[in-house]
Amino acid sequence: MIAKITAAIVLLPITIVLVVFMVVNRGDVTVSLDPFGSIPQLSFDVSLSILMMGAVIFGLVLGGIGTFLSQNHHRRASYKRKHEIERLQRETGKKDERIRMLEEDRAAATTGTGSRALVPAARAA
């Protein structure tokens, strides 16, 4: 609850400033893709607020891609650990089944009904 209130206190003024900035800077600016300015076909007029929002969105996308790529080793380690845990659980399940069969055989041996642990294939069917 405190985190939401803190986020609102921080984000509300930032949002107000951004909206005011976009309203004040709605005039067009010339953006030239030619660094020397000799080719007029490589320039266009666009609203400054749209240009700034485009730059922010472009930065967010690039930052997200960079973060995704830099955390690849964490995802790889998590993937390996997940498969190791699944393998160990399967192995433990097989051993638990074998222990259960041996305990049943011990109980059956004390009553004299015979052994089933020596023939695990018959048990699986």
Domain ranges of the chain: 1-32+43-57, 77-111
Give CA separation, 67 vs 61, 64, 72, 78, 111, in Å: 10, 5, 9, 17, 65
pLDDT at position 13 is 94
The label of the residue with tokens 């206190």 reads 9
Answer left, alpha or beta for residue 37, where phi above 0 means left and psi between -120 and 50 means alpha: left
Q: What tens digit of pLDDT does each residue of 18-66 get?
A: 888 888 888 888 888 888 877 777 888 998 888 888 998 999 999 999 9
Answer left, alpha or beta for residue 64, where phi above 0 means left and psi between -120 and 50 means alpha: alpha
pLDDT at position 125 is 47
Residue pair 25/48 in contact (Cβ under 8 Å)? The answer is yes
Q: What tens digit of pLDDT does each residue of 82-120 get?
A: 999 999 999 999 999 999 999 998 988 888 655 555 555
